A and B are shown apart, each in its own frame.
Chain A
Amino acid sequence: MSAADLEIQLIAVAVAAACALPGVFLVLRRMALMSDAISHTVLLGIVLAFFVVEDITSPLLIGAAALTGVLTVAMVETVYRTGLVKQDASIGLVFPALFSVAVILISRFAGNVHLDTDAVLLGELAFAPFRRLTVGGTDWGPRALWLMGGILVLNVAAIVTFYKELKLTTFDPALAAALGFSPAVVHYSFMTLVSVTAVGAFDAVGSILVVALMIAPPAAAYLLTDRLPWLLGLSAALGSLAAVGGYWVARGLDASIAGCMAGMTGVVFLACFLFSPQRGLVALARRRARQRVEFAELMLAIHLLHHEGTPEADEENRESHLHRHLRWAPEFVGRVVRRAESDGLVVSDDGDRLRLTERGRSAAVKALTT
């Protein structure tokens, strides 16, 4: 592993963690696609600022981009507030328009500078180590690492400081307003944070990966835990995992780094979607199957109780006859009876005639009377 490898991975982890933290609140507040909108429209801010300062490395570009991100949020809100379109349509109207202006400006007036739209969408992490931060002739490492490290620290500090406010406005905006926290102030401050993060990450990895890293890891973590602190930690960890994993996949395939990282966040989400212990599809299917058998055990106990001590008990309460009386498939009958025996609800003297145990009887009575 070369120094460049290590630096790229460090940048990737910083980007992933910095994106995942505000991403958690975007997912919880159902504003995930705001990240899509912002990560596209910041391009307009960069282009306009570039026309003013004519220097692609100027820090002013980042400031202008972050401002455009916040303006995008405000415009979406304004269009939505007219009451003429729904919120989703408002997002879908505002950001393509702003992005279109940026693309046209670039291809008409800035075609020959390093501001091409492919680089914007895709980013080029592979080149990040070549852009160094030098102070007084000393090499301090890649600029992107300092930038994203700084944004990560800013995000952690902001979330720790305003944890209570963010939590309250996210989960109970009405209560937050009643207690005197202005939802608008929290909203716009938070969206400024998102915007700054998107701009920094966009510079390093391109807009599509910003969206992937902001949404997929928090959504995956959302399937694993119900606690907000865990959600934040897990999101950052899953995002970093996807970023580093994606980097090595890209190295192995010699393919687009941003593309592989975005794909990897998808793999991480898919893994949680399928295998989350509580909410994964596999766990859901197993729980359903178990509930089906448990319910059937109870039905069996009730059936036995119903005919217990009656003349037809000998006919009804036989394992070999149950499939007719309960309309179950014969192999399902076998499974349920074995399960009920091992749970101590029924016993069988001759392997066919079934009898309720004391426990089985009380379970059936309880089910019937509650």
Chain B
Amino acid sequence: MGPLLHDLLFDYTLRTVALGSAALGAVSGTLGAFAVLRRQSLLGDAISHAALPGIALAFLFTGSKATLVLVIGAALAGWVGTLLVMAVVNTTRVPEDSALGIVLSVFFGLGLVVLTFVQRRPTAAQAGLDKFLFGQAATLMMRDVAVIAALGSVTLVAVALFWKEFKLLSFDREFGASIGFPMRRIDILLTSLLVVAIVIGLQTVGVVLMSAMVVAPAAAARQWTDRLGLMVVLSAAFGALAGVVGALLSSTTRGVPTGPSIVLSVTALVAVSMTLAPRRGLVWNAVRHRRNRRRINTEAVLCDLYALAAQHDDPGHGHAIAVLRAMAGGRAGVQRTLEVLEQRGLARRVGSAGWALTTTGRREAVRILAERGTGR
């Protein structure tokens, strides 16, 4: 870890890679939070695939491999793809997922066709375009990072400026329309920002896997909070963290492309979040579930004992555990539940095999039954 940290700070290539990946992770994390909340997780997949013909055409027409040129081409193609999805969904009965799938595969296919033309150019300069399939962080230059950072800052500022509108769009579009906000235009603006967030990541993560950078940081962040502001910040932080970790793993390990490396890092974050997050996580839920079940079992046995005592003249009479088992529907663990009740001072043993309520136990049973509204 020590040498890696040293390299991160002082090695030019690593520092560039880490900076670029962090920037794209933060931007895609921010916009991804909205996409996931609006159930548009897979829109990112369609946009990133749709960007391929834009990249290839931009190169074919300009002959330039400058990041800005390719990113503009990618953004235009991604934007056209998105608008086509919206048009198909709004005017026909074709379901949204089908429209996404068509745009994704058809645009990608067209991209491949254009790439075959690119490859036929005598300059053979297409070598640099291959990295757009699976991403190659190692080729990032400082001026690429500058482009990523500049475009990323513009999108982040836009999100900050239109925060209220985007929040409204994500949670209650109809209400927004009813108080006079132009929801359609806000929708197009937010989607356009998503397009920008995706295309700036293509060079590093690649077309095929960029969608994960939209979905995963947001899905991880969602587990930790119910507040939009915190979720967006967390999502950006997770995206940046995964970007740095993934890019570094890829740069320092032979034969590990950057895209898959970043995706696996961010997937690990999601797995940890889904398992451990307080209140929503799987562990938390399992513990709560078990605690609830135990409480219900305990209360049931307590109430059964109370019901038995009510039918008997002597409240201190000991009742056989077999009767309690029968009342519990043959459930196992009645003995254990009784021992728990004894520890809590709610029940006591009578004789060798009998059980009865203590005074506190009776009071507790009355309270529970009253709470349930069935006070017998």
Contacts and interface: CB of A to CB of B under 8 A. Distances in A.
Interface of A: 27, 30-33, 35-36, 40, 79, 82, 84-86, 88-89, 91-93, 96-97, 99-101, 103-104, 107-108, 111, 117-118, 121-122, 208-209, 211-212, 214-216, 218-219, 222-223, 250, 253-256, 258-263, 265-266, 269, 273, 279, 281, 284
Contact of B109 (A33, A219, A263, A284): A263
19 contacts: A30-B95, A32-B100, A85-B222, A89-B219, A92-B216, A100-B260, A100-B261, A107-B256, A212-B106, A215-B98, A223-B93, A255-B117, A256-B109, A256-B115, A259-B110, A259-B113, A259-B116, A262-B106, A273-B88
B95 A96 contact: no
Interface size class of B (residues with CB under 8 A): 35 or more
Given A82-B282, A96-B212, A36 B104 contact: yes
A329 to B, nearest CB: 26
Interface stretch (B40-48, B187-195, B297-305, B348-356): B40-48
B102 interface: yes
Contacts of A212: 102, 105-106, 109
B88 A92 contact: no
B133 interface: yes
Contacts of A263: 106, 109-110, 113
A216 B107 CA distance: 12
A266 B102 contact: yes
B52 to A, nearest CB: 10
Contacts of B44: 92
Nearest to B270: A93
A33 B115 CA distance: 25
A88 B92 contact: no
Most buried by B among A40, A103, A269: A103
Nearest to B268: A97
B216 to A, nearest CB: 6
B6 interface: no
B40 A88 contact: yes
Contact of A261 (B94, B109, B116): B109
Contact of A266 (B106, B219, B256): B106
Contacts of B107: 266
Interface string B101-133: 110111111111101110010000000000001
Interface string B229-268: 0000000000000000000000000111101110110010
A97 B263 contact: yes
A279 B115 CA distance: 34
A36 B99 CA distance: 13
A223 B94 contact: yes
A100 B115 contact: no
B211 interface: yes
By secondary structure, the B interface counts as helix
B36 interface: yes
A27 B109 contact: no
Given A96-B212, A104-B264, A212-B106, A86 B101 contact: no
Contacts of B208: 40, 96, 99, 121
A35 to B, nearest CB: 7
B116 A92 contact: no
A10 B41 CA distance: 37
By secondary structure, the A interface counts as helix
A288 to B, nearest CB: 11
Contacts, number: 203
Contacts of A96: 208-209, 211-212, 216, 263, 267
B113 A255 contact: yes
A30 B212 contact: no
Contact of B255 (A97, A107, A256): A107
A99 B259 CA distance: 11
Contacts of A118: 133
Contact of A107 (B36, B257, B280): B257
A15 to B, nearest CB: 14
A341 B209 CA distance: 63
Given A100-B259, A108-B255, A284-B91, A253 B215 contact: no
B174 interface: no
A22 to B, nearest CB: 14
A28 to B, nearest CB: 8
Most buried by A among B98, B212, B256: B98
Most buried by B among A122, A222, A262: A262
Contacts of B109: 208-209, 212, 256, 258-263, 265-266
A86 B39 contact: yes
Contact of A211 (B39, B104, B120, B215): B104
A279 to B, nearest CB: 6
Contacts of A91: 41-42
A204 to B, nearest CB: 15
A258 B108 CA distance: 10
B116 A255 contact: yes
A216 B105 CA distance: 9
A219 B99 CA distance: 8
A100 B110 contact: no
Nearest to A223: B92
A239 B261 CA distance: 36
A216 B88 CA distance: 12
Contacts of B21: none
B281 to A, nearest CB: 8
Enumerate the 3 nearest inter-chain pairs by beta-carbon distance, A residue then B residue, closest first: A262-B109, A266-B106, A259-B112
Contacts of B101: 32-33, 35-36, 211, 214-216
B11 interface: no
B134 interface: yes
A265 B112 contact: no
A278 to B, nearest CB: 11
Given A33-B101, A84-B281, A86-B41, 20 more contacts: A30-B97, A32-B98, A36-B45, A82-B282, A84-B282, A89-B218, A92-B41, A92-B216, A93-B216, A93-B267, A93-B270, A99-B208, A100-B212, A100-B259, A104-B264, A117-B134, A254-B120, A255-B113, A255-B116, A259-B109
